[in-house]
């Protein structure tokens, strides 16, 4: 044992880790041992957010910059305290790091939590943090991705009263409400731009394993969209990043990326598109009448089909601009914005055929692909999560 190992090793104390047995096995293949679970947090008065949202000029619409900045500050404070604990533990890195917002009575907590890892032959003073779990990290290391830093990009936003008014005028006809589509498209891209900028500041050429969450923050339709991922460097993909003059991004899971690497594909960019549609006043009346009898509501069928197609078409155009060979992992999401408006969000990853990308292993160990089974279910939490999705928390 050397001085870089966890103090729990030196004092013979039990190590308390969030890593599973499969994660420990996979990390051990690359010389990493489990360390303690660490926490960093920051608590803000809930009234601060409430006061900020209530004073927002609802005529503005789009991003609420002061709220974005405040939330980002809370997240960074908790991450900074996590890293302080990590440095005290003498770990070489931390995995499964998350950045959460938890609403308590009267306040809001920004929470960072993850598990330390150690390595006996560590010759570097660099300490990494990653959003990936142990299984994902194994796959990434096997592809040549060196983790550098847990990164995030966020945006707090609201459509705004005037944008709602102008959009409402368009609702007398059926189809896309371009005012809404443009606002949502621009606003949602801010989160991606910011996570890329943060990765670039750490000299990374990739952000992988990006996860996107939309969280309601209060009244007036205010929400936060946050993207979290791992800023990494892959020497094999340096020329690809330079060719596109960008940080490569992906929301594919690690196993998917490893499999694509086996057949010569590398991620270029996470792509997203938004289309906001209205059934229209006349269509709404017709649909309501048809609800009185059984059978298909053709107006709704056609509108929803068209909206999905439009969102995917936008993704395809973006992929074409990148000269991508494939657009993979496409997922679509539907959000009811109220007043007869529905948002269709499409996300996918553009990939390119490359000759130089190789994996260290010929196949993944089964422990890297086994999914953990949930052994504890809290029905109250599930009910509370459902209520948050349907009724914004009061702030």
pLDDT of 158-215, one tens digit each?
A: 765 545 554 555 545 667 888 778 888 888 899 999 999 999 999 999 999 999 998 8
CB-based contact 276:263 (threshold 8 Å): no
Residue 85: pLDDT over 60: yes
Provide the pLDDT for residue 275: 85
Picking from 93, 87, 74, the residue whose alpha carbon sits closest to that of residue 19 is: 93
Answer whether 0.75 is exceeded by the pTM.
yes
Let me know if residue 283 belongs to a domain: yes
Phi/psi for 374 (5° steps) reads -75, 125
- Asked whether residue 247 is assigned to any structural domain, the reply reads yes
390 assigned to some structural domain: no
Q: Please give the tally of structural domains in the chain.
A: 1
> Which range of residues forms the domain containing residue 268?
7-355
Whether residue 304 is contained in a domain is answered as yes
**Is 386 inside a domain boundary?**
no
Residue 322 lies in a domain: yes
Residue 103 near residue 393, CB atoms below 8 Å: yes
Between 134-142 and 254-262, two packed helices, what is the crossing angle to 10 degrees?
20
The answer to whether the beta carbons of residues 151 and 211 sit under 8 Å apart is no
Cα separation, 54 vs 391, in Å, equals 17
Residue 373, domain member (yes or no): no
Q: Is the pLDDT of residue 362 over 60?
A: yes
pLDDT at 240: 95
Determine, yes or no, domain membership for 2. Answer: no
pLDDT tens by residue, 233-273: 999 999 999 999 999 999 999 999 999 999 999 999 999 99
Name the pLDDT band for 274 (thresholds 50, 70, 90).
confident
Q: How confident is the model at residue 27 (pLDDT cuts 50, 70, 90)?
A: very high
**How far does CA 125 lie from the centroid of its chain?**
29
């Amino acid at each position: 044992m050397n001085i870089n190992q966890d103090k729990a090793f030196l004092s013979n104390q039990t190590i308390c880790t969030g890593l599973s047995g499969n994660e420990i096995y996979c990390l051990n293949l690359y010389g990493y041992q489990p360390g303690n679970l660490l926490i960093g947090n920051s608590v803000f008065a809930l009234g601060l957010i409430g006061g900020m949202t209530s004073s927002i000029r609802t005529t503005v619409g789009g991003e609420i910059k002061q709220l974005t900045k405040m939330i980002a500050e809370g997240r960074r404070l908790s991450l900074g305290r996590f890293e302080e604990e990590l440095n005290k533990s003498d770990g070489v890195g931390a995995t499964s790091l998350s950045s959460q917002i938890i609403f308590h009575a009267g306040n809001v907590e920004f929470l960072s939590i993850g598990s330390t890892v150690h390595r006996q032959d560590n010759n570097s003073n660099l300490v990494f943090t990653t959003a990936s779990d142990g299984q994902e990290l194994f796959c990434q290391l096997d592809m040549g991705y060196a983790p550098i830093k847990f990164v995030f990009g966020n945006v707090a936003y609201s459509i705004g009263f005037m944008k709602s008014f102008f959009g409402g005028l368009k609702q007398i006809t059926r189809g896309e409400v371009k005012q809404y589509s443009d606002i949502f498209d621009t606003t949602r891209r801010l989160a991606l731009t910011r996570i890329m900028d943060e990765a670039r500041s750490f000299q990374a050429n990739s952000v992988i394993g990006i996860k996107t969450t939309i969280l309601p923050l209060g009244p007036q339709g205010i929400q936060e969209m946050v993207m979290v991922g791992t800023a990494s460097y892959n020497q094999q993909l340096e020329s690809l990043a330079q060719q596109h003059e960008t940080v490569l991004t992906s929301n594919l899971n690690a196993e998917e990326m490893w499999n694509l690497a086996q057949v010569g594909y590398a991620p270029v960019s996470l792509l997203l598109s938004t289309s906001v549609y209205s059934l229209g006043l006349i269509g709404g009346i017709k649909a309501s009448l048809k609800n009185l009898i059984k059978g298909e509501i053709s107006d709704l069928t056609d509108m929803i089909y068209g909206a999905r197609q439009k969102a995917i078409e936008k993704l395809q155009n973006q992929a074409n601009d990148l000269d991508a060979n494939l657009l993979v992992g496409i997922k679509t999401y539907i959000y009811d914005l109220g007043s007869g408006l529905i948002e269709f969000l499409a996300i996918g990853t553009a990939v390119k055929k490359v000759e130089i990308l190789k994996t260290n292993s010929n196949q993944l160990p089964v422990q890297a692909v086994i999914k953990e089974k949930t052994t504890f279910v809290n029905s109250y939490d599930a009910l509370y999560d459902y209520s948050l999705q349907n009724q914004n928390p009061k702030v």
